[in-house]
Structure 1
Amino acid sequence: MRNDKQNGIDATDKAILGLLQHNGDMPVAEIAEQVGLTVTPCWRRIQKLEEKGIISKRVALLQARQLGLTMTVFVQVKAGRHDGKWLASFAKHAASFDEVVECYRMSGEYDYLLKVLVTDMDCFDHFYKRLVNGLEFSDVTSSFAMEQIKYTTSVPLNHL
């Protein structure tokens, strides 16, 4: 765990980050008021957080279900080979699919975990066939989410 001096985050920066990750459109004047700063120093702090890469971007979060993406599938992949060429090929291949919203290289029994959003089983089947086409896999298994219990894009800040 890093302390405040190591990461350069003080209580005011932490408060700014908390506000922005809950509402990226919040006006700087409102943020400044809530954290006890005037607008210019608040804006400078936000710019520094962006320069450091702590704030990587501000986006609109879309509701997948409202857009017809009602099926969430977690796909676990065992590598066909464990060499740099295969790993790079798979990473590029997995990242090329719009349906893949998250992709992780894992420790443990499976080498990769993909989070996939699709409209229905036919759409998933089409995705799956494209995923396994052209690459050698040791194993691929899929689990279908039945219910989303928690979802957040907020990063915990209580350790700061």
Structure 2
Amino acid sequence: MSIALDPLDKKILTELQSDASQSLDEIAKKVGASKTPIWNRIRKMREAGLITKQTTLIDPEMLGLEACFFVLIRTSEHDENWQAKFLKTLLERPEVMEAHRLAGDIDYILKVRVTNAKAYDTFYQALISEVKIFNVTALLSMEEIKSTTMLPVD
């Protein structure tokens, strides 16, 4: 389900995605409106579920998480119990930044952040000890070319 947004809503969302720590005064000045209507629109977008949460982005390399692996998973298991166990395992692993169920030959793709290859192996060993997996392929990202949390609102 999508929500109808007017140009002012889109400007507000762009500003919030750019830096949600901005004050209402700063946002209002940048989008050309006063504080009260800005606050009311933000509140309505939260209530509608469009704005889900505010968070802080942290540089992973400054935390020593220098290795980013994309993990391709194929499974021969597709029943509800296996999926529930797999989901529980992924949710409990802080290394897993993203997880997607796919259409096609690969069943799942994970984005995993760890300190190095040895830490990835520790993650891998823990994963396969928890759930039965047919095939795992790990791809090391050599360079992050683009990474954004900003969605296009135009």
Give the TM bin, normalised by the shorter chain.
over 0.9
Partner residue in 1 for 2:136: 140
SS where residue 137 of structure 1 aligns?
coil
* Structure 2 counterpart of 1:55, from 51, 71, 78: 51
Which of 63, 66, 69 matches 2:65?
69
Residue among 7, 10, 15 paired with 1:19? 15
**Which residue does 2:86 correspond to in 1?**
90
Q: Give the aligned residue type for 1:35.
A: V
Stretches (4+) displaced over 3 A: none
Does 2:104 match 1:115? no
Question: Normalization by structure 2: what TM-score?
Answer: 0.95
What is the count of residue pairs matched by the alignment? 154
Deviation at 1:48, TM superposition (A): 0.8
1:31-42 → structure 2 map (5 Å cutoff): 31-42=27-38
Equivalent residues of 2:69, 2:113 under 8 A apart: yes
Partners in 2 of 1:72 and 1:127 — Cα distance?
12
Q: Which residue of 2 aligns with 1:45?
A: 41
Map of 2:151 onto structure 1: 155
Task: Name the counterpart of 2:123.
Answer: 127
In structure 2, what is the Cα distance between the partners aligned to 1:36 and 1:134? 54
Structure 2 gaps of 5+ residues are none
CA distance in 1, matches of 2:140, 2:10: 36
| Aligned alpha-carbon RMSD (Å) | 1.3
Distance 1:36 1:14 in 2: 12
- Contact 1:71–1:145 (8 Å) recurs in 2: yes
Identity of aligned residues (%): 38
How much does 1:80 deviate?
3.2
